[in-house]
Amino acid sequence: MSLLLAAVLGYLLGAIPFGLLIGRLTKGIDLREHGSHRTGATNALRTLGMRAAAAVFLLDVAKGVAAVLLARLLFAGDPMVEWAAAVAGFAAIVGHNWSLFIGFTGGRGVATSAGALGAMSPWTIVILAPIVALVIWRSRFVSLGSIIGALGAPLITAVLAGIGAATIPAISYALASGVLVTAAHADNIGRLRAGTERRIGQKEPVSPHA
């Protein structure tokens, strides 16, 4: 029962469409009608600008953190508490990517997955973040950095678990979220292979609805 409740909690938190809300508040636009048609920070950067994108990113990260921490708080003392936290974190990504509040559309889950991972295994983020940042800086592809981060997270978490710095539920979360985030980038992977993927810094022309 705790796992089911954690999943519902995580999904509802993740489904809050901060990107869409900020797009409407700052420029009067629906992010789903511009750029990649996603509601995450990368599309916000291209369509809304740096400050709005930073706000979207931080709020989406917060959804993942909140899902894990609330699950731990609600199910404290339950022997399955860390598994409940992992389920809540994963469900938050599902909610972000397929939000019931906006017709089961959303983002790709990168920021939300990173937030939950940081709450599940902080050292994984400490190690992984500089790697992802370097890949994005050198390649200018946010998608490539995101995919490498998603694939690297379970490997790093497993190594940390081997030295007692992470848990089995954290490994499971990192693996499941890594698969989900990578799958959400299927179209990006196709464009990367074709050489048509958009680099960071490329803007999308937008205009608010009349």
Question: DSSP state, 99?
Answer: B
Taking only the tens place, the pLDDT of each residue in 144-183 is 999 999 999 999 999 999 999 999 999 999 999 999 999 9
Residue 210 confidence class, pLDDT cut points 50, 70, 90: very low
Give domain status of residue 203, yes or no.
no
pLDDT for position 11? 98
Check pLDDT > 50 for residue 39.
yes
**Domains contained in the chain, number:** 1
pLDDT of 208 > 90? The answer is: no
126/136 Cα distance (integer angstroms):
16
**Per-residue pLDDT at 181:** 98
209 within some domain: no
- Owning domain of residue 84: 2-194
Domain assignment of residue 204, yes or no: no
Q: What phi, psi does 189 have (nearest 5°)?
A: -60, -40
What integer pLDDT is reported at residue 202 of this predicted model?
61
